[in-house]
Copies of this chain bind each other. A is one copy, B any other.
Amino acid sequence: MEEIYKELQRLGFSQYECKAYIGLLKHHPITGYEISKRTGVPRSMIYEVVGKLVEKGAVYIVPSEPVTYSPLPARELIARQRRQFEQSFDYLEKELAAMESEREVDVIKRIDGDELVIAEMKELIGNAKAELWLSIWEPQVPFIQTQIDGCCDEGIDVFTVLFGKAETRVGNTYHHDYMSPEVAEERMGGRLTIAARDVEEVLIGNFALGKSAWAVKTRDPALVLVAMEYIRHDIMFAEVTKELGPEKVEALWRTRPDLYHVVTGKRFK
């Protein structure tokens, strides 16, 4: 119920307007007095509130004695709002795009918050034209799966290093099993996540457990290249591991504890 109020308020209705409208949906036509009784909106406010709803076209006046009110059917209200917002979107898309200046290539943008980071990843993946390099962790996969499948369908080359279950497949998938995920996480100070597309743009993020995710995004050619090569080396190493067997690789690491263990503590703030 609260959820419904929240969504309606995003469309420009006040709390009282929501209550009055939903009250009317449930029973109509009724007087202002009765809307107030049923919904808990104060009697002294109800005529102002329904007045606004009438102006917006969400409620009809039924000319009876005394005057009663009837709601616009829910489907039609939503359909109207949808049309109006679509118009706004079309208009704004055109107008805003027109006044936009060129983007700088060498800026590095920071993004904070799980949802926003995911949104940026989806966008970057959706913008891929020829190739896509990913280094991702199982828990994030469901959020971006559909975008990636879209890429695969368009014939875009997708190469993924995945920290997670062997069954999960995301494009050409290589499982990062020459080093345990725990060690990788410790080394990086979190779950390092990378998405690079078309040697043009890269997002480097960190999903630390319990903390809010963050990421940086850039078109700086040097950074894009480093991130891409990093993933490619990971993939080549996975291939080597497959060839030699994990034991030999493991042994190789053990002779170099300085490389195997965390060196500088947390690498990210």
How far, in Å, is A262 (CB) from chain B's closest CB? Answer: 24
Q: Known: A28-B101, A88-B11, A101-B26. Is A62-B96 also a contact (CB below 8 A)?
A: no
B101 engages A74 (CB within 8 Å): no
The answer, yes or no, to whether A112 is at the interface (CB within 8 Å) is yes
* Stretch with Cβ within 8 A of B (4 or more), from A2-10, A169-177, A222-230: A2-10
Distance of A66 Cα from B38 Cα, bound (Å): 55
Residues of B with C-beta under 8 A to A80: 119
Q: Known: A11-B88, A60-B217, A91-B7. Is A97-B75 also a contact (CB below 8 A)?
A: yes
Q: How many copies does the complex hold?
A: 2
The answer, yes or no, to whether A41 is at the interface (CB within 8 Å) is no
Distance of A51 Cα from B61 Cα, bound (Å): 43
Q: Known: A12-B10, A63-B108, A101-B28. Is A81-B74 also a contact (CB below 8 A)?
A: no
The answer, yes or no, to whether A37 is at the interface (CB within 8 Å) is no
Q: Which of A1-43 contact B (CB under 8 A)?
A: 3-4, 7-8, 10-12, 22, 25-29
Q: Which of A71-116 contact B (CB under 8 A)?
A: 71, 73-78, 80-82, 85, 88-89, 91-93, 95-97, 99-101, 103-104, 107-113, 115-116
13 pairs, A vs B, C-beta closer than 8 Å = A3-B91, A25-B96, A25-B99, A27-B101, A28-B101, A28-B104, A29-B107, A57-B119, A60-B217, A63-B110, A70-B104, A74-B93, A82-B89
